[in-house]
Amino acid sequence: MAILCTTTSPAEKEHEPKQDLEKDQTPLIFNPSLLNLQSQIPNQFIWPDEEKPSIDIPELNVPFIDLSSQDSTLEAPRVIAEACTKHGFFLVVNHGVSESLISDAQRLMERFFDMPLAGKQKAQRKPGESCGYASSFTGRFSTKLPWKETLSFQFSNENSGSRTVQDYFSDTLGQEFEQVGKVYQDYCEAMSSLSLKIMELMGLSLGVNRDYFRGFFQENDSIMRLNHYPPCQTPELTLGTGPHCDPSSLTILHQDHVNGLQVFVDNQWQSIRPNPKAFVVNIGDTFMALSNGIFKSCLHRAVVNRESARKSMAFFLCPKKDKVVKPPSDILEKMTTRKYPDFTWSMFLEFTQKHYRADVNTLDSFSNWVITNKNPI
C-alpha cells in the first residue's frame, strides 16, 4: 500500500493542515556552502522525529519499461497500469535520449551551483513565482527547511522556434551562460518529447485513445528543476526534499550516482537505486485528477548524506496553464463519481507557490480550496 495524495470529500475535511509559510518577516539567508562547515545545523533544518530519515530501508523493486523493445506498445501499458495503480513510479530504459546530453546536463549543474551565493542570487526566485534560484527556501518557509538549493525554469514548447530556456540563462545569468542554457534547452526538448511518448502509453494503459493524453500535453508549460543537495554533517536530522506528492502531471527524474530518492510504499520508505541509464518517472497530482484517481500520485522524498553532494534533474510535465483539467469521458463513463473538481494548472501552481507547501495532502487541500472559494473555471 502506498500513501497516496488522499481524497476526502470537502465535507469530511475537518481543517486545513497548518502550513509553515513564512510570514512577512525578514527572510533568513542560508548559504549552503557555509552551512556544512558548522558543527550543528540550524534548528530550522531539523525535521520532527516522525519525519526524520530512517536507517537501513529496503530498496523498491521498480517496474521498468523498455522503449526500444518491439512489444513496448503491448508490454509497457500493462507495466504502467500495474505500477501506477499502486505507487505511480516506474523506470524508463532505452529511452533514446542522448547519453552525452544527459551527462552534460548533470555536469553543468556545477557551473551554476558552484558559484558564490551572490552569483546565484542573480536568479533568485521571487515570492510567489515558481522559477529561479531557491536556497533552502529562505524567506519562504520558517521550519522544516530542506537541505538543498534549486534552480527552476519554465519550458514551453508552444512556439517550436522559441529558445525560452536558453534565453532565460543568458538573460538572467549573462552571456557566459549561453552555452549552458543551450544544453538545458536541448535537454528540456528531449524531456518534452519523451513525455509525449509516455503519454501515449498512459492512454493505452487507461483504455483511452493513445493520442488523447498526447494531445492534451502536446503544448505544455512545464517546469525544469535542478536539485543540488550539499553534503550534511548531520544527515540523520534533516531532509533534502520533504515528503510530498508532485502537484504536476508527470515527473521525469534523472538521479546522479548518489542514492537519495525514497518512495513511501507498503507502509514504509523504500529507496530507488540510482541508475544513470534510466529515468525515474512518476505520476503527479494533476495526472491523478486526469485519471479520476485511477493512477496514483505518491508520497516521496529525498535524503542527504555526510560524504558527497547529490544532484538530480526533475522535468515536471505540466499542461498549458489555462487548459481545463478533467478526466476524459471514456474514463468518467466507467465510474460513478468525480473525485476532483475541474481546475487549471495555473490555479494549482499558484496554490502551491502562494498558499500551500506541497505535501501529501496538496490535491485534497487544493480541491477543497477550489470548491470553497467557488473558483469559476
Ligand X SMILES: C=C1C[C@]23C[C@H]1CC[C@H]2[C@]1(C)CCC[C@@](C)(C(=O)O)[C@H]1[C@@H]3C(=O)O
Minimum gap (Å) between residue 247 Cβ and ligand X: 4
Residue number closest to Fe ion, CB atom: 246
Residue 246 binds ligand X, judged by CB under 6 A: yes
Total residues at the site for ligand AKG (CB under 6 A)?
A: 12
Would you say 241 or 367 has its CB closer to ligand AKG? Answer: 241
Minimum gap (Å) between residue 150 Cβ and ligand AKG: 7
Burial state string for 154-177 with b = 16 or more CB within 10 A and e = fewer than 16: bbbbeeeeebbbbebbbebbeeeb
What is d(CA 268, CA 246) in angstroms, rounded to the nearest whole number? 19
Exactly one of 106, 157, 241, 365 binds ligand AKG (CB under 6 A); which one?
241
| Options 163, 306, 310, 357, the catalytic residue | 310
Exactly one of 149, 186, 200, 246 binds Fe ion (CB under 5 A); which one?
246
Q: How far is CA 281 from the centre of its chain?
A: 10
Judged by CB under 6 A, the stretch of 60-68, 201-209, 237-245, 369-377 that binds ligand X is 237-245
111 assigned to active site: no
Exactly one of 358, 360, 363, 370 binds ligand X (CB under 6 A); which one?
358
146 makes contact, choosing from Fe ion, ligand AKG, ligand X, none, with CB < 5 to 8 Å by partner type, with ligand X
What is d(CA 48, CA 65) in angstroms, rounded to the nearest whole number? 37
Minimum gap (Å) between residue 274 Cβ and ligand X: 18
Would you say 200 or 221 has its CB closer to ligand X? Answer: 221
What is d(CA 4, CA 167) in angstroms, rounded to the nearest whole number? 37
Compute the C-alpha angle 59/63/68, nearest 5°: 130
Residue 32 binds ligand X, judged by CB under 6 A: no
- Give strand pairing partners of 133: 124, 151
Cell numbers for 334: 466507467
What is d(CA 41, CA 37) in angstroms, rounded to the nearest whole number? 9
Residue 314 binds ligand AKG, judged by CB under 6 A: yes
CA distances from 237 to 52, 58, 177, 241 (A): 6, 20, 36, 13
Catalytically active residues, by annotation: 310
